[in-house]
Homo-oligomer: A and B are copies of this chain.
Amino acid sequence: MSDYSDYMECVRKMKPLVHHITNYVTVNDCANICICSGGSPVMTDELKDLDDMVSISNAVVLNMGTLNERTVESMMHAGIAAKKKGVPVVFDAVGAGATAYRKNVAKLIIDRVKPDIVKGNEGEISFLSGIEGGVRGVDSASSNDNIGRDVKALAKKLGCIVASTGKTDYVSDGDVLYELSNGDDMEGNVSGTGCMVTSVIGSYVGANGAKAESVAVAISAFNIAAEHASKNCRGPGSFKVALFDELFSLKLGELDSEIRIQKL
């Protein structure tokens, strides 16, 4: 268990450029957490800007939090361009189950872009499991006891890495399934912690390639920082500030000794 921190070290040394097309609610936090994870964020969604930007990027993050017709087109274009060049694509299916439009966009991006990593919270991944090949017909999963199984099945079905975040996080490439137990309840009291995790994943796969283990360590690093942050905070405001500080300052040895990861 001594090499999980190799992933973190690699991110910090390489400073991968992570191109985001993301929502306007949490975009600033995504940029800053990307920096604190060791990456270098860039955000642009103008079609004319995308080919050039993708060509210098090490990873592309697509987040449909505040999607609109223009940015959906941009996400499709950037995602497809990235795949052609072998740049890892991370897709965060924010609110996939909340509206029909989001369901359709999520399906479109998954089918056409074929992201390397599909990420969502438990409800979103459960929903995608339902519409993609009928693993189970779940609309929103406040209590999906089989989320780990769903993550693995969806990863196998889609032929990519799937990551589900929640009380317990799961990551699978369809073969191995990682169960992750770090994190703090305070994360649920801050808008955009899910989006921030996705940006951290962007940094990790940008530097380490699209491997399930690198995704698992990205999530764990963020969650360990959250555990540290919650110790000295007075509420959601100071927790968020500390989260940036703690991820930025997280030591390699701390990651290795505090990570709670299980290969199932």
Contacts and interface: CB of A to CB of B under 8 A. Distances in A.
Contact of A35 (B191, B238, B245, B246): B191
Contact of A236 (B35, B49, B99, B189): B35
Number of copies of this kind of chain in the complex = 3
A23 interface: yes
Given A98-B52, A189-B35, A43 B67 contact: no
Contacts of A43: 23-25, 65-66
A44 interface: yes
A249 interface: yes
Interface string A80-95: 0000000000000001
Q: State which size class the interface on A falls in.
A: 35 or more
B100 A35 contact: no
Contacts of A23: 43
A191 to B, nearest CB: 4
Contacts of A246: 235
Interface in A161-214: 189-192
Interface stretch (A26-34, A113-121, A144-152, A253-261): A26-34
B245 A42 contact: no
A155 interface: no
A219 to B, nearest CB: 19
Interface string A228-264: 0000011111101111111011000000000000000
B95 A67 contact: no
